[in-house]
Chains A and B, each alone.
Chain A
Amino acid sequence: MPSLSSLSRRELGAQLAGDGIWLQTGRFVARLQSAVPGVADGLHLLYGDYPLRDSQGFADFHLRLERPKNLRRWFRPQVHMRYDGQADFLPLPYGHAFPMFEWGLNWCVSSRANRYLIIHAAVLERDGHAVVLPAPPGSGKSTLTAALAYHGWRLLSDELTLINPEDGHVLPCPRPISLKNASIGLMRGFLPQAVMSPPVHNTEKGTVAHLKAPADSVLRAHETVPPAWVIFPKWQADAPPTLTPLTRAQTFIQLAENAFNYDLLGARGFDTMAAVIDGAQGYQFTYSRLDDALDVFARLAPPAL
């Protein structure tokens, strides 16, 4: 199966502007169409390792980003996103097209993949064990995830933890890591070798940039993993690294609060969450320095079951 890097930037732009590309990210195939150069630039920079599926084949999601045909095509130009042909999203400034694509694809998974329990959490793997990192915006989750993904952990997702109710395993869906504001400069210094998209300013999340997912994570996106740890991270200025165990029941409740579709899944959601808790140890984690955090994570031992 060819990867997106088999296309030159020119070929990619032409395909996107025409019938589109069928891009596989983890379990999902998205058909993407856009003549907006910023979308092709971002894909060419960050998605080279991802498989391309046969054109005209099945796609889970159909996304199109386009310039409006009204005055906003030229005056303070905007970009519209259509999902399955419907424009259900507020238009954004034209320069925000690539972040809009990223957010749009997240929306597709988080609102449509309801055969899985979906948790708003980053997730990574080491030695066959997954660590789930649920946290609200501003907690430093993506910064920590980026550091871990380039220091011995396999990135499964920066944003969405998908649990398969059939076996309780995490389904990888590795995508670029969304960095915001101060963490962009921080990670440029911490991961000088990593590829990052140009920052986009004045989005609703502030300044955002996307960090390329490590190639190994993308190539192993079919390898599912059982969760072994659920860690709620919180960055706090000058705080020493502190890992505080939670009871399993507390972990259950806090994890359920971070799920997108726990209520929707009903008893199946309860059983799936319980299976996660059976196999995983929960912690609160407070830290201020990434090096400290990497040390703590390197010493995590799988829970005794």
Chain B
Amino acid sequence: MPGQTLQHRCWDDEYVLYNALSGDTHLLSPPAIHLLQQLQQAPAAEAALQDALCHAFEFDDGADPARETALLLDQLKKLSLIEPCPACLP
């Protein structure tokens, strides 16, 4: 997001992230941080982000990677950490 500066620290697989743009601090899971780091490099489509998650993490049996990815992106959006990018919409 324009003007956004993020800092994070990790202890025992839990991440604490500081967003200088909002002044908010968040407790995030490793997959959420992974998505955020992907999107910090460049905007990406949801399918590509799902692939990135599948590559980096093992999903539990029965878990739906598409649904999990969508949920994580929705959470990050509600925290004002990411925003939809029209160019990436299907």
A residues near B, CB below 8 A? 247-250, 252-253, 256, 262-263, 266-267, 270-271, 274, 277
> What are 18 pairs between A and B in contact, CB < 8 Å?
A247-B11, A247-B14, A248-B11, A248-B12, A249-B11, A249-B15, A249-B16, A252-B25, A252-B27, A253-B16, A253-B27, A256-B25, A263-B23, A266-B20, A266-B23, A270-B25, A274-B9, A274-B16
Question: Which residues of the other chain, B, contact A256 by a CB distance below 8 angstroms?
Answer: 25
Bound-state Cα–Cα, A247 to B15, Å: 11
Q: If the complex has contacts A249-B27, A253-B27, are A267 and B14 also in contact, measured as CB distance less than 8 A?
A: no
Question: Which residues of the other chain, A, contact B18 by a CB distance below 8 angstroms?
Answer: 267, 270
B residues near A, CB below 8 A? 5, 7, 9, 11-12, 14-16, 18, 20, 23, 25, 27
Question: Which residues of the other chain, B, contact A277 by a CB distance below 8 angstroms?
Answer: 9, 11
Task: Say whether B11 contacts A253, CB under 8 Å.
Answer: no
Chain A: minimal CB distance from B12 (Å): 6
Task: Say whether B20 contacts A267, CB under 8 Å.
Answer: yes
Task: Say whether A270 contacts B11, CB under 8 Å.
Answer: no
Chain B: minimal CB distance from A40 (Å): 43
In addition to A253-B25, A267-B20, A270-B25, 16 A-B residue pairs with Cβ atoms within 8 Å of each other are A247-B11, A247-B12, A247-B14, A248-B11, A249-B12, A249-B15, A249-B27, A252-B11, A252-B16, A252-B27, A263-B23, A266-B20, A267-B5, A267-B7, A271-B7, A274-B16
Bound-state Cα–Cα, A132 to B48, Å: 45
Question: Which residues of the other chain, A, contact B27 by a CB distance below 8 angstroms?
Answer: 249-250, 252-253
Bound-state Cα–Cα, A285 to B73, Å: 36
Chain A: minimal CB distance from B24 (Å): 9
Chain A: minimal CB distance from B33 (Å): 11
